[in-house]
């Protein structure tokens, strides 16, 4: 049986914490690395429901993409984050969070998103860090096998990401060279334009970014924050199950998209 330290060390190989952005909070954020981990829950976020699910299932560890907290001045029962942290500590359930380091890592969030959309010959959208192989960076650029009408591509995105709606701008261009950015990557539109992309798929797109896409003549698609990032959860759970066969890894059954569309 693995201990939490073993799992954390393996995750550090996949997505080293040095890849994180300056604002971020990643790593073993709650718990004792020497404790056994016979059951591990994997989720995009550690919500109150996810914490309850983990403890109810008997998990000693939750692995999430989004940090359970960023900065805390106090931990009290007067706010939801404090209650969540207290609940996990009281029930001896650890938390490992891999955020922008997993966004940037090779075979991380953005590679999972590119694979889900059937993009080939991928490369980072925005490089950073000390990666000599050129595989580390936020977002990905790749190509479809052939020119695809935007309505057809929209249907494939909606199906592949299992999202309940899309916002988009139609630049009246077929889709072939596509940039993707899991989560809030609207600011990376300029890189997509510079690198000759005809389409950009991301989430949380602001009004002015839609205007910039129109001016740049790029199709842009807002496919929802949860949906563009949750693609990594089954990939991560499957990889960990192979690496640690004596530990049970389960994808959260309670966590899903929060936003809904009224059409």
Q: Establish if 148 belongs to a structural domain.
A: yes
More confident residue, 127 or 203: 203
Determine which helix (DSSP H) or strand (DSSP E) holds 231, and give its type and residue range. none
**What percent of the chain clears pLDDT 70, i.e. is strictly above it?**
97
Q: Are residues 84 and 112 in the same domain?
A: no
Query: What is the Cα–Cα distance from 66 to 81, expressed in whole angstroms?
Result: 13
Give the pLDDT of residue 82: 92
Q: What is the pLDDT of residue 71?
A: 84
Which among 147, 149, 123, 145 is positioned nearest to 136, based on CA atoms?
Answer: 123
Paired strand residues for 222: 167, 202
Range of the domain at 169: 106-228
Same domain, 201 and 147: yes
Statement to judge: residues 115 and 222 lie in one domain: yes
Half-sphere exposure of 153 (CA within 13 A, CB side): 30
- pLDDT at position 180: 99
Mean pLDDT value across residues 205-212:
98
Q: What is the pLDDT of residue 258?
A: 86
Supply the CATH number for residue 19's domain.
3.40.1390.30
Supply the pLDDT for residue 130.
Answer: 54
pLDDT tens figures, 126-161: 876 555 556 688 999 999 999 999 999 999 999 999
3-state class (DSSP) for residue 42: strand
d(CA 40, CA 7): 10
Res 260: pLDDT: 83
Q: Which of 45, 78, 98 is the last residue of a domain?
A: 98
Q: Are residues 77 and 182 in the same domain?
A: no
Whether residue 66 lies inside any domain: the answer is: yes
Distance CA 117, CA 228 (A): 10
Domain assignment of residue 214, yes or no:
yes
| CA-based R_g, the chain, Å | 19
Q: Is residue 253 part of a domain?
A: no
Question: pLDDT by residue (tens digit) across 56-71?
Answer: 999 999 999 999 998 8
Would you say residue 122 lies in a domain? yes
What CA–CA distance (Å, rounded) separates 251 from 262? 28
What average pLDDT does the segment 197-206 reach?
98
209 and 132 within one domain: yes
Instruction: Count up the domains in the chain and report the number.
Output: 2
Token pair for residue 198?
Answer: 């005809």
Q: How many residues does the chain have?
A: 263
pLDDT value at 251 more than 60: yes
Among 35, 65, 98, identify where a domain stops: 98
Same domain for 113 and 216 = yes
Average pLDDT value for the chain: 94
Asked whether residue 14 falls in the same domain as residue 128, the answer is no
Same domain, 212 and 141: yes
**Which positions ≥6 away from 113 have C-beta within 8 Å?**
140, 180, 182, 201, 228, 229, 231, 232
Q: Please indicate, yes or no, if residue 197 is contained in any of the structural domains.
A: yes
Residue 63 and residue 135 share a domain = no
């Amino acid at each position: 049986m693995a201990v939490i330290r073993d799992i954390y060390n393996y995750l550090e190989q996949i997505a080293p914490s040095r890849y994180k952005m300056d604002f971020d909070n990643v790593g073993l954020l709650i718990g004792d690395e020497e404790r056994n981990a016979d059951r591990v829950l994997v989720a995009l976020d550690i919500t109150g429901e996810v914490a309850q699910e983990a403890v109810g299932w008997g998990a000693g560890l939750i692995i999430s993409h989004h940090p359970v907290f960023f900065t805390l001045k106090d931990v009290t029962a007067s706010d939801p984050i404090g209650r969540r942290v207290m609940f996990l500590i009281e029930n001896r359930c650890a938390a490992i969070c891999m955020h922008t380091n997993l966004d940037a890592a090779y075979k991380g969030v953005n590679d999972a998103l590119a694979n889900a959309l059937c993009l080939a010959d991928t490369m980072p959208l925005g490089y950073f860090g000390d990666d000599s192989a050129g595989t580390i960076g936020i977002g990905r650029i790749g190509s479809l096998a052939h020119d695809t009408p935007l309505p057809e591509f929209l249907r494939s995105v909606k199906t592949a990401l299992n999202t309940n709606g899309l916002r988009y701008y139609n630049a009246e261009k077929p889709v072939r060279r596509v940039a993707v950015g899991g989560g809030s990557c609207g600011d990376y539109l300029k890189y997509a334009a510079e690198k000759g992309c005809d389409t950009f798929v991301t989430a949380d797109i602001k009004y002015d970014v839609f205007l910039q896409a129109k001016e740049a003549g790029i199709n842009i698609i807002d496919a929802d924050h949860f949906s563009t990032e949750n693609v990594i959860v089954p990939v991560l759970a499957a990889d960990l199950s192979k690496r640690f066969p004596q530990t049970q890894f389960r994808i959260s059954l309670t966590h899903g998209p929060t936003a809904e569309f009224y059409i």
